[in-house]
């Protein structure tokens, strides 16, 4: 039996937290396109409209007060939001400009760790999380430091499998327009055309890479980190 067939026979369920963001939406799209998962739980602050089409019938939305993730140990109600899923995808993220310094740290560090803790208590085995290129807990800069702290905190949870994805500049048509992002993508467009895996990656590629890797790697295997080029390569593999 192949690796993919064995995974499909395992009856796995997944959750996606941060699923309405640009990467999260692509994770959901890739999950809808595969029969590797029996059920997918979409965890958010409120219900949101889902696309109509094949694969979305296995999606179930769950509402969560995200500030409940700040409580350690997590409450039974918080754990219940993540229950019955042995694979988790975390695409939480905001910006300093939108949420301020404290808000950025809360979402990109505290919520991420809280989600993993609650999910582990609910039966999680494999956790797939998006951070960023250059993540470094020892950095003096807010963005890479916060992402790096999240990575280190997740490692301390001793999950059966932890897959960290460090994409470069994300390419997408954001619903929320960010001037700096738009400027950055404009100047990086020539680089992306000549060397597409060097500094940039479409959100669609990140989402597919996370789902493909979750199936090919199973629910055990320790900790791994996929940098930008590895994300591109993973997305090209077949399920």
User: What pLDDT score was predicted for residue 176?
Assistant: 57
Confidence of residue 199 (pLDDT cuts 50, 70, 90): confident
pLDDT beyond 70 at 186: no
Dig out the tokens for 61 from the structure: 């939305």
- Catalytic positions are 143, 147
Average pLDDT over residues 115-126: 98
User: What pLDDT score was predicted for residue 183?
Assistant: 53
Q: Who has greater pLDDT, 169 or 183?
A: 169
CATH topology of domain 3-235: Rossmann fold (3.40.50)
Angle at the Cα of 165 from the Cα atoms of 48 and 203, rounded to 5 degrees: 50
In 3D, which of 82, 80, 83, 84 has the Cα closest to residue 12?
Answer: 84
Dig out the tokens for 69 from the structure: 């993730």
Confidence of residue 1 (pLDDT cuts 50, 70, 90): confident
Mean pLDDT of the chain: 92
User: What pLDDT score was predicted for residue 114?
Assistant: 99
Confidence of residue 172 (pLDDT cuts 50, 70, 90): confident
Average pLDDT over residues 23-36: 98
Average pLDDT over residues 136-145: 97
Instruction: Give the C-alpha separation, 194 to 25, whole Å.
Output: 27
Instruction: Give the C-alpha separation, 8 to 12, whole Å.
Output: 7
Residue range 36-85, pLDDT digits in tens = 999 999 999 999 999 889 999 999 999 999 999 999 999 999 999 999 99
State percent of the chain over pLDDT 70: 90
pLDDT beyond 60 at 195: no
Average pLDDT over residues 119-137: 98
- pTM exceeds 0.75: yes
Q: Who has greater pLDDT, 176 or 2?
A: 2
Average pLDDT over residues 91-98: 94
Q: Who has greater pLDDT, 221 or 112?
A: 112
Question: Where do we find the tokens 């940039």?
Answer: 200
User: What pLDDT score was predicted for residue 181?
Assistant: 55
pLDDT beyond 80 at 26: yes
């Amino acid at each position: 039996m192949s690796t993919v067939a064995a995974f499909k026979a395992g009856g796995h369920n997944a959750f996606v937290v941060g699923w309405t963001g640009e990467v999260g939406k692509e994770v959901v799209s890739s999950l809808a396109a595969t029969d590797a998962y029996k059920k997918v739980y979409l965890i958010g602050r409120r219900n949101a409209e889902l696309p109509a089409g094949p694969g979305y019938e296995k999606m179930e939305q769950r509402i969560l007060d995200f500030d409940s993730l700040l409580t350690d140990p997590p409450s039974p109600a918080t754990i219940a939001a993540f229950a019955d899923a042995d694979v988790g995808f975390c695409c939480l993220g905001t910006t300093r400009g939108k949420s301020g310094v404290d808000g950025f740290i809360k979402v990109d560090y505290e919520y991420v760790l809280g989600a993993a803790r609650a999910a582990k208590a609910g039966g999680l085995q494999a956790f797939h999380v998006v951070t960023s290129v250059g993540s470094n807990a020892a950095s003096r800069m807010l963005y890479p430091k916060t992402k790096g702290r999240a990575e280190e905190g997740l490692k301390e949870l001793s999950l059966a499998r932890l897959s960290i994805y460090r994409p470069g500049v994300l390419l997408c048509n954001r619903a929320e327009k960010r001037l700096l992002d738009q400027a950055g993508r404009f100047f990086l467009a020539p680089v992306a055309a000549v060397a597409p895996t060097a500094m940039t990656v479409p959100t669609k590629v990140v989402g597919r890479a996370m789902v493909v890797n979750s199936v090919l790697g199973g629910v055990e295997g320790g900790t791994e980190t996929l940098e930008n080029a590895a994300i591109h390569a993973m997305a090209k593999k077949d399920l």
